[in-house]
Amino acid sequence: MEKILAFLFAALLCLGLGGTASADPPVCAPPATGAPIFVTEDCVDPVLNNPVVDVDEWRQTPVPHRYVNGHFEGTGTRFSFYFPPKDKYEGRFFHYVLPSPSSRPGTENTPENNIAFGSASGAYYVQTNGGGSPAPATINGYRADAAASKFSRVLAAAMYGNHRPYGYRYGGSGGGYKTISGAENTSGVWDGSVPFVIGSPMSLPNMYSIRANALRVLRRGNKCSALVDAIEPGGSGDIYAGLNQEERGALTEATRFGFPPRSWYTCELMSVGALPLIFPGVKAIDPTYFTDFWNLPGYLGTDPNSSVREDRVQFETEVDAVMTGPQGAAIQLKSAPNWGDLTSFDLIFLSGNNVGKTLLMAGLVGNVASVEPYTYMANPAFVAAIQPGDKVKIDNSNFLALQTYHRHQVPTPDRYIWDPSPGFYVFDQFLKPDGTPMYPQRPILVGPLMGGTGTVQNGRIHGKMIVMETLMDIDALPWQADWYRTKVHEYLGKDLDDQFRLYYIDNADHGSEVGTALEGQIVDPGRLPTHIVRYRPVLEQLLRDLSAWVERGVKPLASTPYKVADGQVKVPALADVRKGIQPVVHLWANGRERAEVKVGEPVKFFAIIDMPPKAGKVVAAEWDFEGVGDYPVAEELRHPKQTVVLKATYTFSEPGTYFPVLRATSQREGDPDTPWARIENLDRVRVVVTPRHFHHRGHKK
């Protein structure tokens, strides 16, 4: 069976799934010395050339489909295909890309909602494990997916009749890097792609380090609550009010780097994202930085005006107990410091089985230190060897140093060897008036080496592309989609609109679902359904728009117009000017963004929900007057409309500050019953409710 499938795979590649035969299919190869392998529709990967089917069976859930699972012989690459019945198939496939490769069993299986959505959209689904780990970066980036996609066409032709299925690949975060890498380094494998919540070649570790530094100084000064109050509806809007010079400097730095101010609403619970995960890579590439930081001029560690030395911890203690479970591991210490920034730190073993070794930790609560999850998964034997009584030292020196690494990574044209005009404008804040860096620069730019694809984005795409970026993303800052659009424009010129779209989605962040994330993504705790909406429905609509664009020439709606100023992306307030595909919601309480009333006094709410031209109709609206996230009141919309005007009255029975929310849902065809492509947005106001009667003691006359 294996030999038959391999022969069929190669033979149909030679035939082009129905074209003219050639003697031997070419081997996929780099187009030039030093370039990555370029994959075409008819070439054969030098490694991924022997597909083996391990499972081939019909399944009934979530919808009827043929499930095919297998691997490429001699590699760690696994794949799964989900073929709908013939009467549901319309000649295309969707291919979801994981943010990072994985060798965990089953990671090549796509979620059930993908299977059902594919069937409802006339498509079969493709997913791989990203090539597994370890594997060459180009295999993880695009070659594993390309080989699987081409083999899926072989099986689809055998199942549905001789034809070439159209293919559309999409992925977010790390999967966005991979989706772009595939669009730039393949031709004819996929007809279009949807990279979403994307970063740039200068993302890592810089967008995380700049956040970590701001978090450190804001939290040590207890400034989170004032900052949150300023950015919430009806607040002052002045995020710098009450900050000292160091706090103002760190927050300004992060804001000008593109951190969305509205996203500080999770300040108290916000993590440092993937920074601990990235740390070992930075240390391997640039090990002397972590010594230079504390000893050389020009680094924060030697700045007498910085609090970083006060936050440094080097504390010796002993292991009291080790706790492990399916969710990770933690170490209880006999004693722990009560100062410093211990968001992440090294635990250095001074005795025991691991003497001389270091374990990366992900935080300290009381005397309990959490092991960084990826570190634990990579080496559980290390944790298993820890014993009570082992002497250890808590040392956060390296983590503190990493928090300002971005200052020493300025991608000036003479250093960014991948492009003579790199255009990373958020780094301009670190330049002197004469254009030279104001801080010492490290000998190498780390960011372009950390994309995990073996390639560096350049904008030279093949096939059509729709990019989706969210305006409250703190893990892929919104300006980066503008940077990539600029690179694609440099390549395509006047033909940009024939091949490319960019949509910004408001009130959405890095993870698709409110409570969880897409597989493998880093998403902060504290994400609230009162502040953000799901963006998965947007992806569903974009995949359908992309297929209509490729297959029938139906042009997608116009890209979102926007401006970038000091790193911040701004979109128009009105739907007919903002364009794109998302509803726009405007909500007022007693005619204002902020209302102040007494207990029992009715508050009158007024709202307008408007759709961009041709983007669909409003099919649902839900109220959450007390702002707790449950949306208990659903409006009865008799007929879907492009514009909906709503009025409501609500009376608060207890004093307090409330943030009522209205969430709206649209659907392109105006179908209120379909579960697919139901695109959301929201708006919020502030209502301050005071007691009806005040009792004052007063003074006797």
Q: How far apart are CA 469 and CA 542, in angstroms?
A: 12
| pLDDT tens-digit series, residues 596-637 | 999 999 999 999 999 999 999 999 999 999 999 999 999 999
507 Rama sector, left if φ>0, alpha if ψ -120 to 50, beta otherwise = left
Measured CA to CA, the distance from residue 325 to residue 370 in angstroms comes to 12
Q: Are strands 314-325 and 65-72 parallel, antiparallel or unpaired?
A: unpaired
Cα dist from 52 to 96, 283, 691, whole Å: 21, 39, 71
Q: Is 317 helix (H, G, I), strand (E, B) or coil?
A: strand
What gap in Å lies between CA 656 and CA 245, rounded to an integer?
Answer: 33
Q: Alpha-carbon distance 134 to 560, whole Å? A: 39
Phi/psi of residue 622, nearest 5 degrees: -135, 140
CA distance 224 to 227: 5
- Tokens 């679902």 belong to which residue? 513
Predicted TM-score (pTM) of this structure: 0.93
Domain co-membership, 352 together with 263: no
Query: Which of 450, 485, 518 is the last residue before a domain boundary?
Result: 450
In 3D space, the residue among 194, 64, 198 whose CA is nearest the CA of residue 540 turns out to be 194
253 and 183 share a domain?
no
Are residue 424 and residue 344 in the same domain, yes or no? no
CA distances from 225 to 205, 218, 310, 341, 683 (A): 27, 10, 23, 18, 21
The pLDDT of residue 204 is 96
Q: State whether 70 and 143 are in the same domain.
A: yes
Angle at 144 between CA 139 and CA 149, to 5 degrees: 150
Average pLDDT over the chain, rounded to an integer: 93
Residue 580: half-sphere exposure toward Cβ, Cα within 13 Å: 29
* 326 or 507, higher pLDDT: 507
Average pLDDT value for residue range 374-393? 89
Judge if 68 and 138 occupy the same domain: yes
What is the 3-state secondary structure of 463-494? CEEEEEEECCCCCCCCHHHHHHHHHHHHHHHH
645-653: average pLDDT: 98
Alpha helix stretches (DSSP H) within 493-593: 496-499, 536-552, 575-578
Q: How many CB atoms lie within 10 A of CB 53?
A: 17
In this prediction, residue 700 carries a pLDDT of 37
Evaluate whether residue 495 is within a structural domain.
Answer: no
Instruction: Tell whether 339 is covered by a domain.
Output: yes
Using DSSP bridges, classify how beta strands 594-598 and 686-690 pair: parallel, antiparallel or unpaired.
parallel
Mean pLDDT, to the nearest integer, of 304-318?
97
Judge if 156 and 61 occupy the same domain.
Answer: yes
For range 142-161, the mean pLDDT: 98
The 8-class DSSP code of residue 425 comes to G
Q: Measured between alpha carbons, how far is 562 from 569 in angstroms, rounded to an integer? A: 7
Kindly report the number of other CB atoms within 10 A of residue 370's CB atom.
Answer: 17
The Cα 671–Cα 537 span in angstroms is 14
pLDDT of 12 above 90: no
20 burial via Cβ count (<10 Å: 0-12, 13-18, 19+): exposed
Q: Which DSSP string do the residues of 142-172 spell out, in sequence order?
A: IIHHHHHHHHHHHHHHHHH-S---EEEEEEE
User: How many helices (DSSP H) and strands (DSSP E) are in the chain?
Assistant: 17, 29
Asked, for residue 252, whether it belongs to a domain, the answer is: yes
**Element holding 660 (H helix, E strand):** none
Contacts of 130 (CB under 8 A, 6+ apart): 97, 98, 100, 101, 102, 107, 140, 144, 145, 178
CATH number at residue 332: 2.40.30
Domain count for the chain, please give it. 4
Environment class of residue 318 by beta-carbon count within 10 Å: exposed (0-12), middle (13-18) or buried (19+)? middle
Q: How confident is the model at residue 293 (pLDDT cuts 50, 70, 90)?
A: very high
Same domain, 335 and 422: no
Q: Please identify, among 188, 222, 257, the residue that sits at the C-terminal boundary of a domain.
A: 188
Task: Identify the pLDDT of residue 372.
Answer: 84
Q: Which residue range forms the structural domain that includes residue 249? A: 202-274+403-450
- Whether residue 566 lies inside any domain: the answer is no
The mean pLDDT value for 383-402 works out to 96
In percent, the amount of the chain with pLDDT more than 90 equals 87
Closest CA to 151 of 77, 65, 225: 77
Residue 468 lies in a domain: no
Average pLDDT over residues 165-173: 97
Contact present, 319 and 386 (Cβ < 8 Å) = yes
Same domain, 346 and 444: no
Q: What is the CATH classification number for the domain harbouring 599?
A: 2.60.40.10
Question: Residues for the chain: how many in total?
Answer: 701
Q: What is the distance between the alpha carbons of residues 523 and 515, in angstroms, rounded to a whole number? A: 10
Same domain, 658 and 678: yes
Residues 363 and 413 in one domain: no
In this structure, are residues 89 and 160 in contact, taking their beta carbons and an 8 Å threshold?
A: yes
**For residue 15, pLDDT beyond 50:** no
Kindly state whether residues 374 and 422 are assigned to the same domain: no
Last residue of a domain, one of 351, 370, 395: 395
| Bridge partners, residue 634, by sequence | 622
CA 414 remoteness from chain centre: 30
d(Cα 89, Cα 71) in Å, to the nearest integer?
A: 24
Query: Can you read off the two tokens belonging to residue 302?
Result: 């030697």
Does the pLDDT at position 22 exceed 60?
A: no
User: Is residue 122 in a domain?
Assistant: yes
Residue 307 lies in a domain: no
Is 27 part of a structural domain of the chain?
A: no
The pLDDT tens digits of the residues spanning 152-166 come to 999 999 999 999 999
Which residues are paired to 684 by β-bridges? 661
pLDDT, tens digit (0-9, with 9 covering 90-100), for 184-233: 999 999 999 999 999 999 999 999 999 999 999 999 999 999 999 999 99
pLDDT in tens, 396-430: 999 999 999 999 999 999 999 999 999 999 999 99
Same domain, 654 and 672: yes
